[in-house]
Structure 1
Amino acid sequence: MNAPTGKIRRGRKYDQVIDGARRVFLRDGFEGASVDDIAREAGVSKATLYSYFPDKRLLFIEIGIGECQMQTADAMCEVDLSAAPGEVLTLAATRLVAFFTSPFGANLFRTCVAECQRFPELGNQFYASGPQRVRGILMEYIAAAEERGELLVEDHSLAADQFIELCKADLFSRLMAGLCTGFDEAERERVVNGAVEMFLARYGTAGKGS
């Protein structure tokens, strides 16, 4: 697939194409997913597929945006914003690390970075659907926890950004550099626990007389 314009068309079979492509991408990854497989899984012709998504990368990023929205919504259902920081941050870190280090998440990030100059609007959509929403949720929780006296944070946005970066420690750079293809549960848990402990050491009020 190759498209100089990068235009996506939404029509009667858009959802059908998206559903089929999502199954193929989640099963085979970006590189392993062929146009023939996607068209077959979606139950459409290749011509129809091209008419909706003239570039496979556009289709992949569109799927990624939907996945980010779905995962954020699922996380919101699990998070109790009135719970203690240790509980909420551990859940948030677990979800973040799982997505960062998943084959789909890693491929999505690589593809967005590679294509953001050709298709800047998709980069903006991806950021708004995933990273920006996660950042906003964290900022909202940090503010609420501070009001309850559980955290002491002067700059909510900086603190949220710092927590997200703590969740990437070591794992994300190695993954992006191609030094490994995945991590076991112990490695992910080490980063999750370290991120929460470091954040609470800096911003928690327990043992600080607050």
Structure 2
Amino acid sequence: MTEAAAILRTGRKFDQVLRGAREVFMADGFEGASVDDIARAAGVSKATLYSYFPDKRLLFMEVAQVECRRMAENVVAMVDDCKPAREVLTIAATELTAFLVSDFSQQMFRICIAERDRFPELGQTFYEAGPQNGQRQMVEYLEKAVNKGELAIDNLQLAAEQFSELCKVRIWTRAAIGVQKSFSKAELDAIATQAVDMFMARYGA
């Protein structure tokens, strides 16, 4: 990216565009989201919108990346590597379960599925910014825990993916197909706790 482009992708109007796009994508999906509606929601002109994102797909991918990055940064900020593994994993599981059933996560998933054949890059971007990035950071933490003797894991990547799947039990499928649209904190905390219990039963040193 050139210096001019880097400057262009910062500032108040750029943030406005992202907020407006997020609002419209959440309400109307990808196909139903019009550039006019996004510009209106963002409070900017179409010319300003196009100066940042000449293609609606690029805008969607930026929204997905920013939101997933924010979630990951929040989790990292809460984690203290000096704390016991169970405590660290519980924090991660609690944040992950809440994110999985959030309106944003569910809508992004639906959009990626709906546009899978026409725009596979949408799903690829969401996967890389969300699940893949989360697993990468989990692998980094698990390696530290193994080196400290708290966990015994041979395949770190597999263990990271297993941890993510444990956090989906009961809630993910129900949310994805609309069987259950809201989840209490108690429900999510129970899933997070059980995920950590099972993970520690398998990998605790």
Q: TM-score range by the shorter chain?
A: 0.7 to 0.9
User: Over residues 131-184 of structure 1, what are the superposed CA-to-partner deviations in whole Å (9 max), with x where a residue is unaligned?
Assistant: 112111111111111111111111111111100000011101011111121211
Q: Which moved more, 1:92-101 or 1:14-23?
A: 14-23
Alignment map for 1:170-189 (pairs within 5 Å):
170-189=170-189
- TM-score normalized by structure 1? 0.79
Alignment map for 1:19-98 (pairs within 5 Å):
19-23=16-20, 25-26=22-23, 29-31=26-28, 35-46=35-46, 49=49, 52=53, 54-55=55-56, 59-98=59-98
- TM-score normalized by structure 2? 0.81
Contact 1:65 1:125 survives alignment (8 Å) = yes
Alignment map for 1:1-210 (pairs within 5 Å):
16=13, 19-23=16-20, 25-26=22-23, 29-31=26-28, 35-46=35-46, 49=49, 52=53, 54-55=55-56, 59-205=59-205
Contact 1:64 1:126 survives alignment (8 Å) = yes
After superposing on structure 2, the runs of 4+ consecutive aligned residues of structure 1 that deviate more than 6 Å are 10-13
* Percent sequence identity over aligned pairs: 44
Structure 2, gaps ≥5 residues long = none
Contact 1:61 1:112 survives alignment (8 Å) = no
Q: Distance in 1 between matches of 2:111 and 2:15?
A: 17
Q: Give the letter for the 1:171 counterpart.
A: I
- Report the alpha carbon displacement of residue 196 of structure 1 after superposing the two structures with TM: 0.6
- Report the alpha carbon displacement of residue 64 of structure 1 after superposing the two structures with TM: 1.5
Contact 1:21 1:38 survives alignment (8 Å) = no
User: Over residues 15-74 of structure 1, what are the superposed CA-to-partner deviations in whole Å (9 max), with x where a residue is unaligned?
Assistant: 53553442563588232876544312322234654673544x653342111111122122
Contact 1:97 1:168 survives alignment (8 Å) = yes
Alignment correspondent of 1:4 = none
What CA RMSD, in Å, does the superposition of the two structures yield over aligned residues?
Answer: 2.7
Contact 1:61 1:108 survives alignment (8 Å) = no
Partner of 2:153, secondary structure, is: coil
- Residues 66/141 of structure 1: CA separation in 2 closer, same or farther (3 Å cut): same
Alignment correspondent of 1:3 = none
Q: Distance in 1 between matches of 2:107 and 2:61?
A: 10
Q: Which moved more, 1:159-168 or 1:68-77?
A: 68-77
